């Protein structure tokens, strides 16, 4: 094991454990409300302690790291973009994270519009003035960076919580 205090990320996929062995009766699934309970109470405490900007930075960084780990451990297609997108779409649906589609793709300039329907984080929430999907921005950034080797700016441009019925993200390679 390692000391808890650190400046570098130490998370590795195997830290998720053997869920089948640990939950032989309950299995790998749980209610979305339980996930949201953890996510939103954690976000609320981070905002109270550090402010919105810092909380969003933390959520983005965590999402980005998760996206990289997700790519490394669950995505097999690492060379062909179209096959990567198809596999990612299938894995996201299989794990019930959301239903993804690429609305626009400019491979030459590395600009994308990515839509997620039935998003794990916010689908069904009331309309608010808060940006909820910062973790998802980081997650998509981590996935794209892992596939391309380039850093990406990812920003949610439409959200269920702003009145849309999908989450739409703009992704653009950083120069």
Q: The pTM is what?
A: 0.93
Residue-wise pLDDT tens digits, 153-166:
999 999 998 888 99
Whether 169 and 131 have beta carbons less than 8 Å apart is answered as no
User: What are 154's strand-pairing partners?
Assistant: 171
**CATH superfamily membership of 13-173:** Trafficking protein particle complex subunit 3 (3.30.1380.20)
In this structure, are residues 137 and 129 in contact, taking their beta carbons and an 8 Å threshold? Answer: no
| Crossing angle between the packed helical segments 32-50 and 52-74, to the nearest 10 degrees | 140
Alpha helices, DSSP H, located in 75-133: 81-94
Burial annotation 82-108 (CB, 10 A radius, 16+ → b, else e): eebbebbeebbeeeebbebebeeeeee
Write the pLDDT tens digit of every residue in 12-44. Answer: 899 999 999 999 999 998 999 999 999 999 999
């Amino acid at each position: 094991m390692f000391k808890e205090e650190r400046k570098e990320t130490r998370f590795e996929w195997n830290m998720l454990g053997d869920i089948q062995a640990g939950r032989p009766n309950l299995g790998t699934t749980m209610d979305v409300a339980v996930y949201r309970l953890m996510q939103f109470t954690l976000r609320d405490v981070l905002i109270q302690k550090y402010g919105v900007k810092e909380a969003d930075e933390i959520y983005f960084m965590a999402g980005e790291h998760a996206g990289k780990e997700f790519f490394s451990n669950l995505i097999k297609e690492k060379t062909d973009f179209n096959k990567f997108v198809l596999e990612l779409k299938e894995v996201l649906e299989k794990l019930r994270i959301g239903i993804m589609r690429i609305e626009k793709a400019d491979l030459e300039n590395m600009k994308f519009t990515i839509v997620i329907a039935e998003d794990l984080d916010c689908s069904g929430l009331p309309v608010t003035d808060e940006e909820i999907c910062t973790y998802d921005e980081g997650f998509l950034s981590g996935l794209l960076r892992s596939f391309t080797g380039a850093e990406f700016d990812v920003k949610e441009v439409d959200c269920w919580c702003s009145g849309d019925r999908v989450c739409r993200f703009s992704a653009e390679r950083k120069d």
